A = this chain, B = another copy of it.
C-alpha cells in the first residue's frame, strides 16, 4: 500500500493528477473494461458512447473507487469492474441530463443529443446503465450491487426533484441540499463505500469512506453551482450561466433571494420564473450574488464539507495515498477561488 515515491515530489501535479499517477495501472484496467463494454454490434452505441465516455474525461468517480479500494488494502480485481460500473452510471445520467436540460451550452464538447438526437441519447443511456449492472453482477458482490443500485434510484429521485423545482423561487435550502445529496453526492458516496465492502473491512471504516465520498460530492456540487456564476473571481466566460438560463434554483440564488429587496425579488422573478432574460441579466445576477455574499457563503459551505471529508479519512493510517485523497478534497473547493 505504498505509493510511488515520485508523486510526493512532483508538486506541479494537482491532487487529482497525483491520484491518477498513483492509480495509473488500476485506471488502465478500468479504461480497458469501459472500452470493451461500451461495444455493441449496433454501431450507434459505441459511436455515441465513445463521444462521451471514450474520450477520457476526468473519470473522477472511478478514480475514487480504485484509490479507496487500495486504501482498504484490497487485493482482488472486482474494484476495476465496479469503477467501470460507476463511470457507466455517471455517463448514463449525463446523457439523460443533456436531453432534460435542453442545453446547447454544456461545458466542453457539444452534447451527444445535439449530434445523434434525443432518442439516441435516451436509449444509449439506458444501455450504459444496464451494462453497469452487468458488470456489477460479474463481481459477485451482492452488497456492492445493493449500494450502487440504491444510489441509482436516489440519483433519479434527485433529478426528478430538481426538475420539479425548476423556476420555483420558493425552493428551500433544505430541498436544495436534498437535491444535491441525491443527484451528485450519492454516487460519490457509493463509489467510495463499495471499497471497504469488497475489502471486507469493518462497519466503522465503511461508514468513514461513505462519509468521505458523500462530503466530497456535496463540496464538489456546491463549487460547481458557485462556478456557474463565475465563482468569486473568474471573469464571465462561455462556461458560465447554464443554471441561470435554465432557471435552476441553486444555493447562490436561494441565499441571495433570502436577502433580496423588492427590486431584486422582481429581478429574480423575471429571470427565473418567467425566464425573461437579456444579455445583461446574467451580469446583473452575478453582481447581486457577489454583493450579497451569497457566492461567498456557498463556497464557505463547500469548504466545511471538504474539511469533513478530510477528517473522515483520519481513522485510516497515514500514507501517501491517504494524503492524496485528503488533498483531493481540499482541491475540489480550490477551483472556485
Instruction: Report which A residues bind B (CB closer than 8 A).
Output: 40-45, 92-93, 96, 99-100, 118-120, 122-124, 126-127, 129-131, 133-134, 136-137, 140, 142, 145-146, 149-150, 152-153, 155-157, 159-161, 163-164
List 10 other contacts, CB 8 Å, given A45-B160, A100-B119, A130-B153: A42-B160, A43-B164, A44-B163, A99-B118, A99-B119, A100-B123, A122-B122, A133-B145, A133-B149, A137-B149
Q: Do A96 and B161 touch (CB < 8 A)?
A: no
A140 partner residues in chain B, CB cutoff 8 A: 142
A-B CB contact pairs (8 Å), 22 listed: A40-B157, A42-B161, A44-B160, A44-B164, A45-B157, A93-B126, A96-B122, A96-B126, A100-B122, A100-B123, A119-B163, A124-B156, A126-B155, A127-B153, A127-B157, A127-B160, A129-B156, A130-B156, A133-B153, A134-B146, A134-B149, A142-B142
Query: CB-nearest residue of chain B relative to A179?
Result: B42
Nearest-CB distance from A98 to chain B (Å)? 10
Q: Do A156 and B123 touch (CB < 8 A)?
A: yes
Q: Closest 6 interchain pairs by CB? A: A130-B153, A127-B156, A130-B152, A133-B149, A126-B156, A100-B119
A160 partner residues in chain B, CB cutoff 8 A: 40, 42, 44-45, 120, 123-124, 127
Q: Do A137 and B146 touch (CB < 8 A)?
A: yes
Query: CB-nearest residue of chain B relative to A163?
Result: B119
Q: Do B134 and A150 touch (CB < 8 A)?
A: yes
A142 partner residues in chain B, CB cutoff 8 A: 137, 140, 142
A99 partner residues in chain B, CB cutoff 8 A: 118-119, 122
Q: How far is the CA of A282 from the CA of B122 in the complex (A)?
A: 29
Query: CB-nearest residue of chain B relative to A120?
Result: B163
A130 partner residues in chain B, CB cutoff 8 A: 149, 152-153, 155-156
Nearest-CB distance from A102 to chain B (Å)? 8
Query: CB-nearest residue of chain B relative to A165?
Result: B42
Q: A100-B122, A145-B145 are in contact. Are A152 and B133 (CB under 8 A)?
A: yes
Q: A119-B100, A146-B137 are in contact. Are A126 and B159 (CB under 8 A)?
A: yes
Q: Do A123 and B44 touch (CB < 8 A)?
A: no
Q: How far is the CA of A163 from the CA of B116 in the complex (A)?
A: 11
Q: How far is the CA of A160 from the CA of B44 in the complex (A)?
A: 7
A45 partner residues in chain B, CB cutoff 8 A: 157, 160
Query: CB-nearest residue of chain B relative to A37?
Result: B153
A155 partner residues in chain B, CB cutoff 8 A: 126, 130
A122 partner residues in chain B, CB cutoff 8 A: 96, 99-100, 122
Q: How far is the CA of A152 from the CA of B131 in the complex (A)?
A: 8
Nearest-CB distance from A165 to chain B (Å)? 10
A150 partner residues in chain B, CB cutoff 8 A: 134
Query: CB-nearest residue of chain B relative to A134?
Result: B149
Q: How far is the CA of A152 from the CA of B133 in the complex (A)?
A: 9
Residue in B123, B131, B134 whose CB lies within 8 Å of A159: B123
Q: How far is the CA of A149 from the CA of B132 in the complex (A)?
A: 9
